[in-house]
A and B are shown apart, each in its own frame.
Chain A
Amino acid sequence: MDSPPPLSAIKDAKVLMVGAGGIGCELLKTLALSGFPDIHIIDMDTIEVSNLNRQFLFRQKHVGQSKAKVAREAVLRFRPNISITPYHANVKDPDFNVDFFKQFSVVLNGLDNLDARRHVNRLCLAADVPLVESGTTGFLGQVTVHLKGKTECYECQPKPAPKSYPVCTITSTPSKFVHCIVWAKDLLFAKLFGDKAQDNDLNVRSGNASTSDHTEDVFERRKDEDIEEYGRRIYDHVFGYNIEVALANEETWKNRSKPRPIYSKDVLPERLIKQNGNMDSASATDNPSSVSAMASLGMKNPQEIWSLMENSKIFLEALKLFFGKRGKEVGNLSFDKDDQLAVEFVTSAANIRASSFGISLHSLFESKGIAGNIVHAVATTNAIIAGLIVIEAIKVLQKDARSYRMTYCLEHPSKKMLLMPVEPYEPNKSCYVCSETPLSLEINTHRSTLREFVDKIVKAKLGMNLPLIMHGSALLYEVGDDLEEDMVTNYAANLEKVLSELPSPVTSGTLLTVEDLQQELTCNISIKHREEFDEEKEPDGMVLSGWTPAPAVEKKDENHVDNGVGTSKNITNAEQVETNEDLEIVPADIETPAEKKRKLSEISNNDGLGTSRVAAKANNHSKVQDLDDDDDVVFISGGDSDPSKKRKLH
């Protein structure tokens, strides 16, 4: 970097920011202070109270308003003469096409989900616009730079995919608290309060058929049924009867500790309503958002771990309050982490189930974090990362390629460093996004439908948004606004067919072409038929290879773990749940660069110095020495020493 940065690099720049949240607020402020005159910002969210501890451009009075718009107003207050263009929209919207991206000198991401990041990555590649990516979680953060053809793209390195759980673990053999949460949220809550038309695995037991008539009876509240009777009936069914039935299958419990059935009469012998008086006096107000089982029962501390009895009281009280005070919503509700009553219900249900299976109980606070996929966040990390983003952005604008860095913000210093810069790597030659590697897919072509292929592979794994699927010249499927009706009908029909029965049959050896025109991404997938898949290890029933798939990382802190969605089709699919600033894999120790990758400085055709350095640093081990040996900044050829020395080397 030159000092001070030449004004022209910034003065002529047109910058796109994607995200106006934790990183976004800090970034917009720092860009404005640094003299960037033309900033565009996209964010689809509105402001919530829990944002205010770090998204400092927002105030209490702004809750509910567009983040992009309010951020702009706040920054104009101290920099009235710059241009900030807000878009209260989803960056995946087709309006933000390649031409839109082409107008920018650099794109800066401050996103909170993998899906959007991949989408932006592809658009930046298609538009050939540099991308500066970033992420934070708690005290950790990183900033990375991506230039088409010169560095890795955002998807060249595997990213941890959200964790998904096999159906049977959730429905029958939970061993961790998170399994209980997923059960309580995606099965029980969904069954009782959600859309009745949705499939639900609640009574599925591995290998046994469920009697659907019987289950319908159980979960429906009978006409004029006393609310506590109903609650106890549900309680007894899911925590008592269902467990008894599961226990009957000896095979399941051969190597596992058995759960114990729990019945409400044993835990709560006396009726609650007698203790509380009638419904009306239980809550002070009729405001649905303040309805709370905890408040009703006088339990004030969300950090407290409740006993089985207390959890059971909450369970019944929450159920009562849903039907009594929010009856109109029953049948339409989906879990929302900011819905106090829903969180109370899910916490208590998960805890009772946990109790049954000998899993430790958790507080409401912890449960809310797990169920809501809440990522912990503080202002300071976002501020640091924003500063680093602007520093990289300036380097990009100055086209100072040798100075580009991936910077990691660590919680504990490594080699005395809290902020650790690393040179970017060259592109991954087997990255299907930026280097068109052919892929192959093992799938049962007689059992799997096109819809499953689209959902699990094209959208989830390949991250395509508006896909087009071709078999040779035959169009099997596409999405679009301008399609003719008969095409739409045709595609709808195709979705329900198994692959081998498509108009242009897909069998072993078939090569499918999958495209997303907006992302300008094309993938060729070679199909291999396979009969059987392992339910636990391959829950999708299909295996994609030829590209380094993102490993599903089991993080130690349960708060980091994402969970799936409740229908039988999707329960094993990790849905991309919105989390706050995602964390990528932070290299715990940068002494492990991938063998085949080379750092930019070692690519001999980049600069004159290349050959001698490559020869000297031929193996990975000596690369490590770089950090320790030189007093100079190791990563830059010439480092931070005399600038005249630097010129000579090029």
Chain B
Amino acid sequence: MDGEELTQQETELYDRQIRVWGVDAQRRLSKANVLVCGMTGTVAEFCKNIVLAGVGSVTLVDDGVVTEAALSANFLIPPDESVSKGRTLAELCCDSLLEFNSMVRVSVEKGDISSFGEDFFSKFDVVVISSSSLATKKLINEKCRRLLRRVAFYTVDCRDSCGEIFVDLQNYKYTKKKVDEAVEFELKYPSFEEAITTPWKRLPRRMARLYFAMRVIEKFEEAEGRKPGETSILDFPGVMKKRQELCEEESFNESQIPDYLLERLVVGTREFPPVCAVIGGILGQEVIKAISGKGDPLKNFFFFDAFDGKGIIEDISNPDAAS
């Protein structure tokens, strides 16, 4: 995009959303570069949203091939095997996404994201990680935090009919118009590691249980050397043991992480499309807010469970962690 003004094409196409967030925000979006890793159904939704919104570029990382699970939740993957044969998920999704908005540069980056250096990440304004191990999440988050320019970092995971989003905007300053004056806000976000090492007993009494359940599953997968989502009902006893272990460490009441919730997450490793739409939508909004600098970003976890229908924000930060 040349020059500072929006083009005629952009003004026409983006009219309805410019009425929501204004021309300045739209300009900033058009300059933003987003990196996405893990082409799950939820991430497909997210990509669709930000491509429609008109970000500058989206880079996809996922060398996996098409599976039945992938097809069941990801509408960007063509069902025809002759089309998808030999192509990675990232490549297939890239082709579909390019159709949604010709002004957005969508591309693929091959390789293992944990092996990419800081130079690579410095090219982006936003990094979104999905379906990744605990170690990978921490690693990428750290790489982003070490960069000179601020890179917004998100993780997103959906299992069964639940979803979790984590947000790290580091030190984030933004302004809001209150009546006639512009008020400046500053939020300090903990890193992923800092957040999840917050002692459980320090957390508010009424917290989304999904947070704890996800941490148990995460730790279980790490201890067993599993890929994210590689669990089945056979693992349920093992997961319950892990829960017991963690609750002892944290002096936390086991009944706060109910059996039935863990069972759902262990067994229901496939994504549930309506939840992909909800989580992909919330995440899309968050990334748009962070890029445009407009609107209160959520801090720092978001949970959704289709069972109760609540979409909850939890602020999980460790007061003891060195900042």
Contacts of B192 in A (CB 8 A): none
Evaluate contact between A390 and B274: CB separation under 8 angstroms. Answer: yes
Q: Does B245 contact A (CB under 8 A)?
A: no
Q: Does A559 contact B (CB under 8 A)?
A: yes
Other than A3-B160, A50-B13, A378-B17, give 17 A-B pairs with Cβ distance below 8 A: A33-B75, A54-B52, A56-B48, A78-B75, A78-B77, A80-B79, A375-B16, A378-B285, A383-B45, A390-B273, A390-B274, A405-B309, A411-B295, A419-B310, A421-B309, A633-B307, A639-B308
A365-391 interface bits toward B, Cβ cutoff 8 Å, 1 = contact, 0 = none:
100010000111111111110111011
Contacts of A49 in B (CB 8 A): 12-13
Evaluate contact between B20 and A377: CB separation under 8 angstroms. Answer: yes
Interface residues of B in 11-67 (CB under 8 A from A): 11-21, 23, 41, 45, 48-49, 52-54
A269-304 interface bits toward B, Cβ cutoff 8 Å, 1 = contact, 0 = none:
000000000000000000000000000000011110
Evaluate contact between A419 and B53: CB separation under 8 angstroms. Answer: no
Q: Does A580 contact B (CB under 8 A)?
A: yes
Interface residues of B in 248-306 (CB under 8 A from A): 258, 260, 264, 268, 270, 272-278, 280-282, 284-285, 288, 295-296, 298, 302, 304-306
Q: Tell me which of A29, A378, A559, A639 contacts B75 (CB under 8 A).
A: A29
Q: What's the nearest-Cβ distance from chain A to residue B45, in Å? A: 6
Q: Tell me which of A4, A29, A139, A377 contacts B285 (CB under 8 A).
A: A139
Contacts of A639 in B (CB 8 A): 308
Q: Tell me which of A29, A394, A580 contacts B16 (CB under 8 A).
A: A580
Q: Does A610 contact B (CB under 8 A)?
A: no
Evaluate contact between B52 and A379: CB separation under 8 angstroms. Answer: yes
Evaluate contact between B160 and A374: CB separation under 8 angstroms. Answer: no
Q: Does B120 contact A (CB under 8 A)?
A: no
Contacts of A380 in B (CB 8 A): 49, 53, 281-282, 284-285, 288
Q: Chain A residues in contact with chain B, CB under 8 A?
A: 1, 3-4, 26, 29-30, 32-34, 49-50, 52-54, 56, 59-60, 77-80, 138-139, 300-303, 365, 369, 374-384, 386-388, 390-391, 394, 405, 407, 409, 411-413, 416-421, 559, 580, 631, 633, 635-636, 639-643
Q: Tell me which of B270, B284, B314 contacts A379 (CB under 8 A).
A: B284
Given A4-B268, A412-B296, decide whether A30 and B273 contact each other with a Cβ distance below 8 A. yes
Contacts of A301 in B (CB 8 A): 5
* Residue of A302, A365, A387, A409 most packed against chain B (CB within 10 A): A387
Interface residues of B in 146-201 (CB under 8 A from A): 160-161
C-alpha spacing A26/B278, complex, angstroms: 11
Q: Does B118 contact A (CB under 8 A)?
A: no
Q: Does B228 contact A (CB under 8 A)?
A: no
C-alpha spacing A174/B164, complex, angstroms: 51
| Total number of B residues with any Cβ neighbor in A under 8 Å | 66
Contacts of B161 in A (CB 8 A): 1, 3-4, 391
Closest chain B residue to A33, Cβ basis: B273
Q: What's the nearest-Cβ distance from chain A to residue B74, in Å? A: 8
Closest chain B residue to A374, Cβ basis: B19
Evaluate contact between A50 and B12: CB separation under 8 angstroms. Answer: yes
Given A80-B79, A417-B312, decide whether A376 and B285 contact each other with a Cβ distance below 8 A. no
C-alpha spacing A549/B306, complex, angstroms: 35
Given A34-B273, A49-B12, A642-B260, decide whether A381 and B281 contact each other with a Cβ distance below 8 A. yes
C-alpha spacing A4/B15, complex, angstroms: 40
Closest chain B residue to A302, Cβ basis: B11
Interface residues of B in 189-223 (CB under 8 A from A): 206
Contacts of A138 in B (CB 8 A): 19-20
Q: Does B100 contact A (CB under 8 A)?
A: yes
Which 5 A-B residue pairs are closest in the complex by CB-CB distance? A419-B311, A387-B277, A376-B19, A421-B309, A384-B281
Q: Tell me which of B23, B49, B260 contacts A383 (CB under 8 A).
A: B49
C-alpha spacing A300/B6, complex, angstroms: 11
Contacts of A374 in B (CB 8 A): 15-16, 19
Q: Tell me which of A34, A56, A384, A642 contacts B282 (CB under 8 A).
A: A384
Contacts of B230 in A (CB 8 A): none
Contacts of B270 in A (CB 8 A): 4
Contacts of B282 in A (CB 8 A): 380, 384, 418
Closest chain B residue to A557, Cβ basis: B19
C-alpha spacing A50/B16, complex, angstroms: 7
Closest chain B residue to A629, Cβ basis: B206
9 A–B pairs (Cβ distance < 8 Å), ordered by A? A301-B5, A375-B16, A376-B16, A376-B17, A382-B281, A391-B161, A405-B309, A418-B282, A639-B308
Q: What's the nearest-Cβ distance from chain A to residue B185, in Å? A: 13
Contacts of B268 in A (CB 8 A): 3-4
Evaluate contact between B298 and A387: CB separation under 8 angstroms. Answer: no
Q: Tell me which of B48, B76, B306 contacts A391 (CB under 8 A).
A: B306
C-alpha spacing A342/B223, complex, angstroms: 67
Q: Tell me which of B102, B277, B310 contacts A384 (CB under 8 A).
A: B277
Q: What's the nearest-Cβ distance from chain B to residue A337, in Å? A: 10
Q: Tell me which of B5, B16, B78, B306 contacts A78 (CB under 8 A).
A: B78
Q: What's the nearest-Cβ distance from chain B to residue A407, in Å? A: 5
Contacts of B14 in A (CB 8 A): 53
Q: Does B72 contact A (CB under 8 A)?
A: yes
Evaluate contact between B314 and A416: CB separation under 8 angstroms. Answer: yes
Evaluate contact between A33 and B73: CB separation under 8 angstroms. Answer: yes
Q: Does B313 contact A (CB under 8 A)?
A: yes
Contacts of B272 in A (CB 8 A): 4, 34
Closest chain B residue to A418, Cβ basis: B311
Contacts of B13 in A (CB 8 A): 49-50, 52-53
Given A378-B20, A642-B258, decide whether A633 and B308 contact each other with a Cβ distance below 8 A. yes
Contacts of B5 in A (CB 8 A): 300-301
Contacts of B76 in A (CB 8 A): 78
Given A50-B12, A53-B14, A139-B285, decide whether A421 and B274 contact each other with a Cβ distance below 8 A. no
Evaluate contact between A633 and B280: CB separation under 8 angstroms. Answer: no
Contacts of A26 in B (CB 8 A): 277
Contacts of A407 in B (CB 8 A): 309
Closest chain A residue to B54, Cβ basis: A53
C-alpha spacing A79/B18, complex, angstroms: 33
Evaluate contact between B308 and A416: CB separation under 8 angstroms. Answer: no
Contacts of B310 in A (CB 8 A): 417, 419-421, 633
C-alpha spacing A641/B295, complex, angstroms: 35
C-alpha spacing A371/B51, complex, angstroms: 29
C-alpha spacing A628/B285, complex, angstroms: 27
Evaluate contact between B277 and A30: CB separation under 8 angstroms. Answer: yes
Contacts of B280 in A (CB 8 A): 383
C-alpha spacing A78/B12, complex, angstroms: 29
Closest chain B residue to A413, Cβ basis: B313
C-alpha spacing A412/B45, complex, angstroms: 22
Q: What's the nearest-Cβ distance from chain A to residue B47, in Å? A: 11
Q: What's the nearest-Cβ distance from chain B to residue A356, in Å? A: 26
Closest chain B residue to A50, Cβ basis: B15
C-alpha spacing A56/B46, complex, angstroms: 13
Q: What's the nearest-Cβ distance from chain A to residue B20, in Å? A: 4
C-alpha spacing A303/B26, complex, angstroms: 13
Closest chain B residue to A644, Cβ basis: B260
C-alpha spacing A640/B162, complex, angstroms: 13
Contacts of B281 in A (CB 8 A): 379-384, 387
Closest chain A residue to B284, Cβ basis: A380
C-alpha spacing A30/B48, complex, angstroms: 13
Q: What's the nearest-Cβ distance from chain B to residue A14, in Å? A: 19
Q: What's the nearest-Cβ distance from chain A to residue B169, in Å? A: 17
Q: What's the nearest-Cβ distance from chain B to residue A152, in Å? A: 18
Contacts of A34 in B (CB 8 A): 272-274
C-alpha spacing A79/B274, complex, angstroms: 16
Q: Tell me which of B23, B100, B288, B308 contacts A640 (CB under 8 A).
A: B308
Closest chain A residue to B16, Cβ basis: A377
Contacts of A52 in B (CB 8 A): 13
C-alpha spacing A301/B7, complex, angstroms: 11
Closest chain B residue to A381, Cβ basis: B281
Contacts of A391 in B (CB 8 A): 161, 274-275, 306, 309
Evaluate contact between B278 and A53: CB separation under 8 angstroms. Answer: no
Evaluate contact between A379 and B49: CB separation under 8 angstroms. Answer: yes
Closest chain A residue to B71, Cβ basis: A78
